[in-house]
Amino acid sequence: MHGAHGIGYEVYKRKHEVRMQVEKKREQDYKESRRMIAALDRRVHANI
């Protein structure tokens, strides 16, 4: 938790605002990774 988000689990557990910020960032990261995977997938299948 600390390495990825810069906060410890105890702070994450206790502070709702921090938890919401972490979860929002996680969702953004997930969406971005899905976009990158889709782009790579299009490139792979376009070259077949």
Name the residue ranges covered by the structural domains of the chain.
2-46
- Give yes or no for a contact between 32 and 25, defined as CB atoms under 8 angstroms apart: no
pTM: 0.76
Rounded-to-integer distance, Cα 29 and Cα 35, Å: 10
pLDDT on residue 47 = 74
pLDDT on residue 2 = 87
Residue by residue, pLDDT tens for the chain (48 residues) are 888 889 999 999 999 999 999 999 999 999 999 999 999 999 999 876
**CB neighbours (10 Å) of residue 30?**
10
Rounded-to-integer distance, Cα 9 and Cα 24, Å: 16
- Give yes or no for a contact between 5 and 22, defined as CB atoms under 8 angstroms apart: yes
